[in-house]
Amino acid sequence: MLLMFRLHRLDVLPVDDLGIRAGIRRVYSLAELPNKKTVEDLGQMWKPYRSIACWYLWQGLG
């Protein structure tokens, strides 16, 4: 989170974050929370703006 919000890095993907995993589960209609590998694989599509994609995933949970 420090990299994303304090240092303003645009390409950070926190694969262990529960909010990210829950957001991916919701967006992709998965039966259960994705594992690290699945998050990494899906996150490749969002490069080089993975931090922005994460922000949208968090907002979608609210």
Mean per-residue pLDDT of the chain: 92
What contacts 24+ positions apart, CB below 8 Å, involve 14-20? 14/54, 15/39, 15/40, 15/43, 17/54, 19/57, 19/58, 19/61, 20/54, 20/57, 20/58
The average pLDDT across 21-39 equals 97
Its domain, for residue 18, covers 10-61
pLDDT of 59 higher than 70 = yes
Please state the pTM of the whole predicted model: 0.86
pLDDT of residue 13: 94
Residue 18 counted as domain residue? yes
Total domain count for the chain? 1
CA gap 50, 62 in Å, rounded: 19
The average pLDDT across 12-40 equals 96
Residue 33 counted as domain residue? yes
Residue 50 counted as domain residue? yes
pLDDT of residue 62: 82
At 24, which CATH number? 1.10.1670.40
| 22 or 8: which leads in pLDDT | 22
pLDDT of residue 5: 67
